[in-house]
Amino acid sequence: MDQGKAAVYGAIVGVGGTVLGHLIAWMQLRTQAKYGNAQWRRQLQRDSYGVLIEKVIAVTQQLEALGKDIRATGCTSTKYAQLTSLAQSAGPDIDSATIVVLLEGPQPISEQAFEVGHAVRAWGAALDAFASAVLNQETGKDEKDEEEQQISLIAGEVVGTFIDMARKHLDRA
């Protein structure tokens, strides 16, 4: 083999090696960027799920405490005003947290987040009906009490399902 052919083959191998090296480096950078984006997205989802859960738990703890208090000592106009105030302030907080979850997804978790908001509102409405019946000494307050307790259990299950779905999604991601 003469030196000219050896030089050409050497150049081809050198260019091929350089191109292959750049291709491998580009693929590694692309993989790292993809992984970094996935981690960033996962963190956004975790934060949005956490905010919703935090707001919902704060509201449900207050609803539970008010319900127990009304059952134990009756309902005064002050307690009823407290319940009304809770409903007015909690709704927008839960809605804003739900919207962020809707944006971050995925869809099944977004749909469950929407259900969480509905369940907490339904619980608040049932507690309001029960408190109003106690305050106004209406007949049928026992049925409204039972209905409120059933709806609170359903709300708890809906919230628990959301938490479980979020945890599974984040563990998988």
pLDDT at position 91: 86
Low-confidence ranges of the chain (pLDDT < 70): 1, 5-11, 13-37, 173
Amino acid of residue 18: T
In a domain, 1, yes or no: no
pLDDT at position 147: 94
How far is Cα 130 from Cα 47, in angstroms, rounded to an integer? 35
Whole-structure pTM value:
0.75
Cβ–Cβ < 8 Å for 88, 144 = no
pLDDT at position 40: 79
pLDDT tens digits, 67-113:
999 999 988 889 889 988 888 888 889 999 999 999 888 999 999 99
In a domain, 74, yes or no: yes
In a domain, 104, yes or no: yes
pLDDT at position 21: 60
| CATH code for the domain of 138 | 1.20.1420.10
Q: Which residues constitute the domain of residue 138?
A: 43-172
Nearest C-alpha neighbor of 86 from the set 38, 124, 40? 124
In a domain, 162, yes or no: yes
The total number of structural domains that make up the chain: 1
In a domain, 34, yes or no: no
